[in-house]
């Protein structure tokens, strides 16, 4: 679950079009791959402005022209051979009339992986994989997170939850929820760190839980979650190669093992990849390479994975970062990608435990609850609509449905009397409103559940027997999911 969301005001470098409504400024590809020998590729530029300019930020990546006033033109991208035998990346910056900006990502990944090749490809198989991304998203009524269980390093019961059972998943389905997101750890379940080979018993254990969901005809998302931080923490150039090597090896194994599952199973490449401080263009570039490695690894295995719907994440699964910086990964299969973000706004209500210099703890949310105490100065109902509208116009309207992989607000049960009463009512309002608006804007909601019924917990179901431990929150969530209507 997200621990810090207070850097949302930071304006970062943009990788996407920044255009006026009346502007036409497009390139035909935003990600270009080169092998170790280098070579030439062409970018087609279409505009209705007076002039565009282009520049490259790396010496080894040359361009054939730096400006043009033609409404349709192209630039040759010339990449030299990579004698250093290290993966590398560059950026092309296109600017029209000194205002509108486009970026093209150049990837040259050629070094042999430090791990064995786990890909044994088979021919594509489209059987039981008919639904494209929007079709499949529309089938998910409401999603739920099996949090703090299979993503726990070394032992799924280490963080206080019991082993997941069929009884629990049956109870989740009986409530009306029809999709489960299963955060997963893999790195601490490898047989040998030098080969990155995932233990067969752990693959079988994850399969067992996936099968609990399949027996209920539920949709399932499995990912590589926090997993000790090897994939999530501070994506920089110095670790780009080693992380992508492991990302490739992990997903080749995961995808191959689950290859025969039908379209009810979705893969999500990462979780909350973030920087240790203010995010930079380097962080965005490296994080997007993790997304691309995931897509390429899964598709390479063939079979039903050739058509499986896949989910990529924005930087820190943050909405503003998605809108400003995410370049959608290149995929050989059209209309099978989704975008994932998370939502814990405002954090001083959703999860802050103690007052900080940047915010004080808020027990209430929603304009109608301000009469009972302080609410945050931001992040209220209008913020939800604004943020979700951004995702709709940037991604949903362009064919990429959005997965709200996590959203939630901790239950502050240490409160008492009217304070507790109004807190729980405002919290229920939060769950209902976010779920309803998410669906209205083409965003599939997955509520966070960490199994805890204690103060500051997010548990909805008792992990031991499947009974409901937060009926008020669960009912509100399902009411919101029922009230919202997908725009596709």
Q: List Cβ neighbours of 438 (8 Å cut-off, separation of 6 or more).
A: 343, 388, 404, 407, 444, 445, 484
Paired strand residues for 78: 40, 62
| Among 338, 320, 351, residue whose Cα is nearest residue 396 | 338
Q: What does the block give as tokens for 92?
A: 């092309």
Return the biggest CA–CA distance within the chain.
Answer: 71
Quickly tell me which residue has 């000790």 as its tokens. 228
> CA 294, CA 317: separation in Å to the nearest integer?
16
Catalytic residue among 151, 285, 287, 406: 406
Q: List Cβ neighbours of 90 (8 Å cut-off, separation of 6 or more).
A: 56, 57, 58, 60, 61, 79, 105, 106, 108
Catalytic residue among 252, 272, 425, 436: 272
CB 244 within 8 Å of CB 293: yes
Q: How many CB atoms lie within 10 A of CB 327?
A: 18
| Among 433, 439, 458, residue whose Cα is nearest residue 447 | 458
Paired strand residues for 92: 56, 104
Strand intervals (E) in 48-166: 52-56, 61-63, 67-68, 72-79, 88-96, 100-108, 122-124, 143-145
- One-character DSSP codes across 9-73: T------S-B--TT--EEES-SEEEE-TT-EEEEEEEEESSS-EEEEESSTTEEES-SEE--SEE
> CA 279, CA 288: separation in Å to the nearest integer?
13
406 noted as active-site residue: yes
Q: What is the dihedral of CA 27, 298, 311, 189, to 10 degrees?
A: -140
**Catalytic machinery residues:** 272, 406
């Amino acid at each position: 679950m997200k621990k810090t969301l207070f850097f949302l005001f930071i304006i970062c470098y943009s990788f996407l079009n920044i255009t006026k409504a009346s502007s036409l400024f497009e390139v035909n590809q935003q990600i270009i791959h080169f092998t170790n020998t280098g070579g030439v590729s062409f970018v087609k530029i279409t505009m209705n402005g007076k002039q565009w300019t282009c520049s490259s930020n790396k010496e080894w990546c040359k361009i054939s022209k730096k400006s043009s006033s033609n409404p349709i033109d192209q630039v040759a991208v010339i990449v030299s051979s990579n004698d250093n035998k290290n993966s590398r990346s560059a950026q092309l910056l296109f600017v029209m009339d000194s205002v509108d900006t486009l970026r093209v990502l150049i990837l040259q990944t050629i070094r042999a992986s430090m791990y064995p090749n786990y890909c044994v490809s088979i021919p594509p198989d489209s059987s039981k994989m008919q639904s494209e991304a929007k079709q499949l998203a529309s089938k998910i009524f409401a999603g739920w997170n099996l949090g703090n269980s299979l993503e726990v390093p070394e032992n799924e019961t280490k963080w206080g939850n019991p082993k997941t059972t069929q009884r629990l998943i049956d109870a989740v389905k009986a409530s009306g929820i029809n999709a489960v997101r299963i955060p997963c750890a893999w790195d601490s379940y490898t047989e040998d760190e030098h080969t990155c080979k995932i233990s067969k018993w752990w693959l079988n254990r994850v399969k067992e839980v996936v099968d609990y969901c399949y027996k209920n005809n539920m949709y399932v998302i499995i990912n590589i979650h926090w997993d000790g931080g090897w994939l999530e923490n501070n994506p920089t150039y110095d670790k780009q190669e080693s992380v992508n090597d492991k990302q490739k090896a992990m997903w080749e194994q995961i995808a191959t093992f689950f290859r025969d599952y039908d379209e009810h199973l979705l893969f999500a490449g990462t979780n909350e990849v973030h920087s240790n401080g203010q995010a930079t263009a380097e962080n965005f570039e490296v994080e997007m390479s993790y997304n691309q490695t995931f897509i390429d690894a899964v598709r390479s295995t063939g079979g039903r994975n050739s058509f499986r719907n896949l989910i990529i994440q924005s930087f820190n699964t943050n909405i503003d970062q998605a809108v400003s910086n995410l370049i959608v990964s290149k995929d050989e299969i059209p209309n099978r990608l989704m975008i994932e973000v998370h939502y814990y706004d405002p954090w001083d209500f959703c999860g802050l435990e103690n007052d900080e210099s940047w915010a004080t703890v808020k027990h209430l949310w929603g304009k109608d609850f301000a009469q009972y105490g302080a609410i945050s100065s931001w992040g209220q109902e209008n913020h939800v609509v604004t943020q979700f509208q951004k995702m709709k116009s940037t991604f949903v309207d362009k064919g990429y449905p959005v997965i709200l992989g996590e959203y939630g607000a901790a239950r502050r049960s240490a409160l008492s009397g009217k304070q507790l009463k109004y807190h729980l009512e405002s919290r229920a309002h939060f769950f209902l409103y976010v779920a309803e608006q998410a669906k209205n804007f083409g965003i599939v909601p997955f509520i966070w559940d960490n199994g805890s019924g204690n103060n500051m917990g997010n548990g909805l179901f008792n992990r031991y027997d499947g009974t409901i431990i937060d009926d008020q929150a669960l009912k509100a969530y399902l009411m919101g999911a029922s009230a919202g209507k997908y725009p596709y």
